[in-house]
Structure 1
Amino acid sequence: MKKQQLFYFLLVSLFIISCSKDEITHENEQSKEPTKQTVTAKNLKPIGSGVMMQAFYWDVPAGGTWWNVVKGKVADWSNAGIDAIWLPPASKAQNGPFSMGYDPFDYFDFGEYNQMGSIETRFGSTTELQSLINTAHTNNLSVIADIVLNHNSGGDSEYNPFKGTNTYTNYQPMSGMFNRTYYDFHPNDYHSNDEGVFGGFADLCHHKSYVQNWLWNNSNSVAKYYKNVVGFDGWRFDYVKGFAPWVVKDWKNAVGGFSVGEYWDGNAATLEWWANQAEVSAFDFACYYRMRDAFQGNNLNRLNDDMLWKRNASKAVTFVTNHDTDEIVNNKILAYAYILTHEGYPTIFYRDYEDWLNKERMNNLIWIHNNLASGNTSILYTDTDEYVARRNGYNGPGLVVYINNSNNWQERWVETNWSNTRIKDYTGHSNWEPVTQGGRWVKIQAPPKSYSVWSVK
């Protein structure tokens, strides 16, 4: 019995020594500090006061030019009413000069180390990224970093005792920051899995204190380096279904900044649950799918359905298209008229704004959002082809939006916020300037396959 106890004691001791060696290596690594200058104070528009621009699309041109392309547009975007730009994952990924960044390898290489087949990322160099961020800040815009925390890619093969075979979990990035081994991925000595894996990539274990320290706790963690050194102001968290909400909550509590998660689910109650658990905003996929049904499916009654912005507008980031999904093809401008007149924080997709839709009409809707769209929402009328809603105003007059998906001009009597008041259509689609009745009712109109937005003249 004593021999058996001694044998087990030796086995446990060897395991502890092995773990201790791993921790010693990690601690030595954590002593490294960033060498770049930290960012200075910024005078930024409050996020949510305007509109967010998703400043990329899938497969933007390779060749290291994208940061400069965006840099050349931020002044015009700011003048149009944009308050923040969302950038793609900025650090070096496994596919190097061809990667869109969602297969992260070295979180601290923004285009300065010769690894993964290139020095620059697909988007450009470290210097170009920081020049873009500085230019955005000069134009009072916040910069949102796309953060991929669920999975990593590009590690070397090593024997993994938790799988009994080799796995690609040996990460020795040239930045010398956040080296990783099989201890830091699933399965490991803590547990076998978490909420989800993605695409067969190495799945980070966020319960490991070493991983937490490198991602958000340490003074030179990914979160603090991105904020204090590179200059990012907020966070878009990729594939948050793959890990527990507390991960995003802890990150946000460690560094602050606007935070929104990509919880890809069309159920508004589920989105509300996740946003409350993480204590951050969520992309309103419920709104997206109801708009798809309404505008692509030609049934505006679907806009009556449940959405995150209707449950908690302060947590809802609305969108019509993003780099992953673009299902609202017909009548897309009507969908933008919807999100830019309703509650929630609206996002505009780069290609919709720069390439595909009428920029003058988009700028008009941004102006309407920033200047007229205040207060809670009352839906006044819906049928298959027509939708009318009122924003009831908060420190401002509010508005009435009339969306018409039919092939003919439509007119409708509606109850406004205003009594005996002349109103006008701020889109310019109608030249009517009616006066509301004493009981606040008035007849308004909207052109075919279009919209009008009415407020006090």
Structure 2
Amino acid sequence: MAANETLLQAFEWHSTSHSPSMNKGYSTESHYTYLRRVLPSLARIGVTGIWLPPGCKANNSQGNGYDCYDLWDLGEYDQKGGRATKWGVKEELSKVMQTAEGEGIQCIWDTVLNHKAGGDATEETWAVEVDEEDRRIEICSPKKIEAWLRFDFPGRERDGVSNEKFLWRAEHFNGTDWDHRAQKRAIYKIIDDPFTLSNPSLRPDIWNDFMWMKNSGTKARTERRAGKGWAEDVDDQHGNADYLMFSNIDYSQSSVQDHVKHWGEWMVNDVGVDGFRLDAAQHFSYSFTRDWISVVQQASWKKRNRELFIVGEIWTDEPRCILDWLNSVGQNAYAYDSPLLYNFSRISEDIRKGSKSVDLRTILHDSLLELRPQSAVTFVTNHDTQPGQTSYAPIDSQLKSFFYAFILLRREGRPCVFWGDLYGTNGPYAEPPACTVRTANGGERNLLPDLIMVRKYLAYGEQKDYFDSTHCIGFTRSGVEGESKTGCAIIISVANKDTSTGDYRATKRMRIGKPGEVWVDILCEKEYRTETIIDAKGYGLFSCGGMGIGVFSRRAEADQFSLNLNLDS
């Protein structure tokens, strides 16, 4: 049986990084250098893939990369304040990928294909303002605006090298958020010159047919304007989700499609990535995404005879939106299970508020893990949901260990661990590593590395769920006969005390192992490990603290855990 795979998001929003100066190819304090240093430790505990930050040149030297300026500049050209990206220079990236390959770790590239930022000059174009809540509704007559839609990439020419000569102009975009001439911020849909259209009903002087008169109380018509406009094959958030931010790329243009496909092939063939995380996947053409995935997969099969890992980011609590994307793009793509994350946050908040609605049996409700587990990338936190971010999802730090045990040790789904939960976060809402517990000598210990190791060594075989109590659930993994992957039993409790016994311990009777075997809680310190003996019928009575988790294995396998690995070297 193949080893379990575990993905690590290898950055957080406020990751510190001091990149090399202009003529240097290395810095001891860049994020790429630090990441390269910890890769061997990550491999030892069971990390098999890293989600790299968006390392294309951003709009400024400290931009995280979601404000993407130049797809082809991975820290190579003197543009936007320097040669390096926030994360480092291309030479350092290459060393990260070489080290990762040597450790058996795949590199997944965070890919921003929805928009571009930081144009080099303005261009004049026809546009209409649209309603922020329903992007199908035009709220002004067609007019000419001056927008930063010209991308010349002068740094490439100064350095005398360039991977790609394609230059972006106004015709390559269908939306933007700033009219430089009017000094006005709004959502502008870029359109064709209305005087060139054959349909007379679209003359500029009768634009009211497509307008919501906000003060009239009338409903808007949402007929699609002929010619250039939003992509239709996107999510229906805000009526049409094509526009998200910055300068929105128009994938109806064949030249744009060819250019971005060529970039994807370059990333596979020359840079050597093992997969792509598609940022804002619900906001750009699903049909183009399907074609793009096909192109990069063909490149991977031709070069390495294996499939790339592709995962889309779709922020929603409605699983139908994720399923629509998966059905549209096909080709074994994955999606992040945001509904599962929202379930975690809901349960955490119910516990914090002392709500009587706490019910662990609903943990999978309407999640991708429940509806299409083979396509789910599960996670507890990421850079968008950490404190202070736009999609902040509050989850108690102690409870994170419960939810990580849930996603890491189950059979279905591909779990993704957050850098900030393993190493802590920086910034105005800085937090220490999550999943820490007090030790007997008064110190602290992070359970997350051990949970990843349990996934690596023990969490195999058939799964049996015991979701029979609102405040305490459990499940078992039977292991693989004849292999060292011997299985485990997991109990999760969010009750201060077991209401059936009055004891501040939770118990769950589960079937696992063989009669007479001793199973111990490997998350406990060795001297204090809880034990259970499997009875004649093959059942053990597994226990944990009333507000706690227990992960049990055969006693013989337990000693490889609680190693307190130094993950900083």
Matched, 1:427 2:513: no
- Please say if residues 112 and 125 of structure 1, whose CA atoms lie closer than 8 Å, have aligned partners that are also in contact: yes
The equivalent residue for 1:4 is none
Question: Could you say which residue in structure 1 is the equivalent of 2:64?
Answer: 100
User: Which amino acid is the alignment partner of residue 442 of structure 1?
Assistant: G
Structure 2 portions without partners, runs of 5+? 20-29, 128-142, 157-161, 175-189, 193-226, 235-240, 298-307, 352-357, 387-393, 425-432, 437-444, 498-503, 556-569
Are 1:341 and 2:402 counterparts? Answer: no
How big is each residue's C-alpha offset from its partner over 1:107-128, in whole Å with a ceiling of 9 and x where there is no partner?
Answer: 1111222221222111111111
Does the Cα contact within 8 Å between 1:422 and 1:433 map onto a contact in 2?
no
- Equivalent AA in structure 2 for residue 366 of structure 1: I
1:43 aligns with none
Q: CA RMSD in A?
A: 2.3
In 1, the alpha carbon distance for the partners of 2:320 and 2:479 equals 26
Kept in 1, the 8 Å contact 2:493–2:506? The answer is no
Rounded Cα–Cα distance in structure 1 between residues aligned with 2:364 and 2:270: 45
Contact (CA 8 Å) 2:364, 2:370: kept in 1 or not? no
Residue 50 (structure 2) aligned to one of 85, 92, 96: 85
Structure-2 separation of matches of 1:385 and 1:246:
44
Letter in 2 for 1:425: V
Change in Cα spacing, 1:426 to 1:272, as seen in structure 2 (3 Å) is farther
Provide the C-alpha distance between the structure 2 equivalents of 1:287 and 1:265, rounded to a whole number of angstroms: 10
Asked if 1 retains the 8 angstrom alpha-carbon contact of 2:510 and 2:542, the reply is: no
Instruction: Give 3-state SS (helix, strand or coil) of 2:532's partner.
Output: coil
How far off is 1:154 after superposition? 1.1
Please point out which of 333, 338, 362 is paired with 1:302.
362
State how far apart, in whole Å, the 2-side matches of 1:411 and 1:379 are: 16
- Confirm or deny that 1:202 pairs with 2:247: yes
Instruction: Encode CA deviations 1:286-305: one digit per residue, 9 max, x unaligned.
Output: 11111112234222243152
Shifted more, 100-109 versus 417-426: the winner is: 417-426
CA contact (8 A) 1:424 1:431 kept: no
Aligned residues with identical type, % of pairs: 26
More helix by share: 1
Taking the aligned partners of 1:374 and 1:208, their CA distance within structure 2 comes to 47
Residue 346 of structure 2 corresponds to residue 293 of structure 1: yes
The one-letter amino acid paired with 2:375 is K
Determine if the alignment matches structure 1 residue 261 to structure 2 residue 312. Answer: yes
Q: Which runs of 4+ in 1 moved over 6 A?
A: none
- The reply on whether 1:372 has 2:458 as its aligned counterpart is yes
The question of 1:277 aligning with 2:318 is answered: no
The alpha carbon displacement at 1:236 in A equals 0.4
Match of 1:320 in 2: 380
Higher mean C-alpha deviation, range 165-174 or range 69-78: 165-174
Give the distance between the partners of 1:394 and 1:285, measured in 2 at CA. Answer: 31
- The 3-state SS of whatever aligns with 1:251 is helix
The counterpart of 2:4, out of the listed 34, 37, 49, is 49
Deviates more, 1:314-323 or 1:63-72: 63-72
In structure 1, what is the equivalent of residue 116 of structure 2?
152
Q: CA deviation at 1:244?
A: 3.0
Q: CA separation in 2, counterparts of 1:389 and 1:297? A: 23
Residue 82 of structure 1 aligns to a residue whose secondary structure is: coil
CA displacement 1:302-354 (0-9 Å, x = unmatched)? 31522111222221111111000032134221111111112211111112112
Residue of structure 2 in register with 1:132 after alignment: 96
Say yes or no: does 1:329 pair with 2:284. Answer: no
- The TM-score with structure 1 as length reference comes to 0.82
Change over 3 Å in CA distance of 1:306–1:410 after alignment to 2: farther
Q: Give 3-state SS (helix, strand or coil) of 1:160's partner.
A: strand
Superposition deviation, residue 382 in structure 1: 4.3
Unaligned 5+ runs, structure 1 = 1-45
Match among 68, 81, 88 for residue 33 of structure 2: 68
**Code of the aligned partner of 1:180:** W
The superposition leaves residues 187-236 of structure 1 with CA deviations (integer Å, 9 ceiling, x where unpaired) of 355531123345541111112211111111xxxx2111112112211100
Q: 1: distance between equivalents of 2:490 and 2:419?
A: 24
Q: For 1:413 and 1:349, how far apart are their aligned partners in 2?
A: 29
In structure 2, relative to structure 1, the CA distance for the partners of 1:170 and 1:421 (3 Å cut) is farther
Deviations 1:375-422 (A, max 9, x none): 454431343431212335566554321012233442434231445251
Q: Distance in 2 between matches of 1:78 and 1:413?
A: 33
- Say which SS state the counterpart of residue 57 (structure 1) adopts: coil
Instruction: Tell me the secondary structure at the aligned position of residue 48 of structure 2.
Output: strand
